[in-house]
Amino acid sequence: MFEMHQGKKTFEEAINKLRDDGQPLPDCFFLAEIENARTLRTDLGLEEYDRMLNDFTDRISATMKEGSVATAYYDSLYLIGVPGITDTESAKAYGNLLLKELDYEYLSNGRRYDIRITVGSAFCTEEDPTGYKKGFDKSIKALENAWKRNVRFVLYDEERNNRRYNVMIVEDQELVRKYFEDTVNKSRHFTLSFSISNADLADIYCQKNKIDLIIMDVYTDYGANGLQASARIKEKYPGIKIIIVTSMPEFSYLEQARKAGVESFVYKELNYDSFLDIMERTMDGESIYPDETPEVMLGQASSKDFTYRELEILREITSGDTNEEIAERMYLSVSTVKTHIMNLMQKTGFKSRTELAIKARESGLVIK
């Protein structure tokens, strides 16, 4: 029979009562949190919000198996203990059932309010006298992971929680490299194996050592290109995951990284928690890329004002080559190149080709 209790103490009492009565104890915990509880409380008002919670509790009750117990922690967090769920597939199936039944529209005064939940789950593999505290703590960690990874359901994974990954940092700027080193050293799941400044040496380290993740800058010592190094590494060692990091807004970097098979790409303006989260999500199999290149002003124009072909021409201009040389290299007519350059100067407001080339190089939007 399903039982709903208020607060941690009564939940522990319920567990102890099941134990004393010789009833099956929970094998798996599910911690469900109403994502938008604060907004619902404001929009509905306290009285109607309480009615919504009663309806929400009834929906939980309808999903419960025989012998299940649950606790309402606060007014947005519900801990559900379920017997008979002892394997991953069953836990995932029940978690998805909760998402299906508890994600719904609540009708009040002719208006519909969306209710959304996030669920963290953990197996109760160890009994303890404090009301299955270890299983409860694991379900909290699973819920935290769900929020960090922006997913709706996470099942606590003991092996994942205790994992350690070997990291190599490839970065030529000392302060930035120190930041990445500190990030890795302070983390729970990552171990710093090597920190180098030249991307051309990275595949040699991969050949001789076990590397799980590389944090790779684009431009490193002696002009070594991290994107090119990443392509070589992914071809030889496809199991190694790579995060490209750069402060340069060069428009083609995202495309080059994807073509090389790089898992994730980030710009360097991130705090510790954000970057560590990207590292963990990358090792979990996610591919994380920004939606677009950062916007850069070039003269009177935004980088978003240029076509892809204009940006390609702009990069060639920075090399100092003639229109004829650019046309031959890009398989275009000289007149087409001239037209693109004229459009670039018109958009930016620059008066000379030289000024356009210098400012484009300084902006980092195009790098030859």
> What is the band of 295 on the pLDDT scale with cuts at 50, 70, 90?
confident
Least confident of 11-20, 42-51, 57-66, 305-314: 11-20
- Tokens representing 238 are 């496809």
Which residues are registered as beta bridge partners of 96? none
Phi-psi region of 243 (alpha: psi -120 to 50; beta: other; left: phi over 0): beta
**Residue-level pLDDT at 5:** 47
**Residue-level pLDDT at 48:** 93
Asked whether the beta carbons of 152 and 98 are under 8 A apart, the reply is no
**pLDDT above 60: residue 205:** yes
DSSP 305: G
> How does pLDDT run across 236-273, given as a tens digit for each residue?
999 999 999 998 889 899 999 999 999 999 998 766 56
> How does pLDDT run across 94-150, given as a tens digit for each residue?
999 999 999 999 999 889 999 999 999 988 765 554 446 777 788 888 888 788 777
**Residue-level pLDDT at 231:** 97
**pLDDT above 50: residue 1:** no
Asked whether the beta carbons of 222 and 236 are under 8 A apart, the reply is no
- C-alpha to C-alpha distance for 285 and 149, rounded to whole angstroms: 11
Mean model confidence pLDDT for the chain: 87
Least confident of 169-173, 269-273, 289-293, 312-316: 269-273
> How does pLDDT run across 207-225, given as a tens digit for each residue?
999 999 999 999 999 999 9
What residues contact residue 212 under an 8 Å CB cut-off, 6+ apart? 165, 166, 167, 240, 241, 283
**pLDDT above 70: residue 291:** yes
Task: Give the burial string for 41-57 (b: 16+ CB within 10 Å, else e).
Answer: beebeeebbeebbeebe
Mapping DSSP onto H, E and C, the string for 129-168 reads CCCCHHHHHHHHHHHHHHHHHCCCEEECCHHHHCCCEEEE
- Tokens representing 332 are 């275009």
Share of the chain above pLDDT 90, in %: 54
**pLDDT above 60: residue 9:** no
Domains within the chain, CATH numbers bracketed? 3-160 (3.30.70.270), 163-283 (3.40.50.2300), 297-363 (1.10.10.10)
> How does pLDDT run across 309-326, given as a tens digit for each residue?
999 999 899 988 899 999
Tell me how far apart the 2 most distant CA atoms of the chain are, in Å. Answer: 90
**pLDDT above 70: residue 4:** no
DSSP 287: -
What residues contact residue 50 under an 8 Å CB cut-off, 6+ apart? none
**pLDDT above 70: residue 43:** yes
- Angle in degrees, 0-180, between the axes of helices 334-348 and 308-317, rounded to the nearest 10: 100
For the question of whether the overall pTM of this predicted structure is more than 0.75, the answer is no
Cα atoms found within 13 Å of the Cα of residue 302, Cβ hemisphere only: 5
**pLDDT above 60: residue 8:** no
DSSP 251: T
Handedness of CA 181, 185, 189, 195 (dihedral sign): positive
**pLDDT above 80: residue 162:** no
**pLDDT above 50: residue 167:** yes
What residues contact residue 152 under an 8 Å CB cut-off, 6+ apart? 99, 117, 118, 119, 146
Name the strand (E) or helix (H) holding 216: strand 213-217
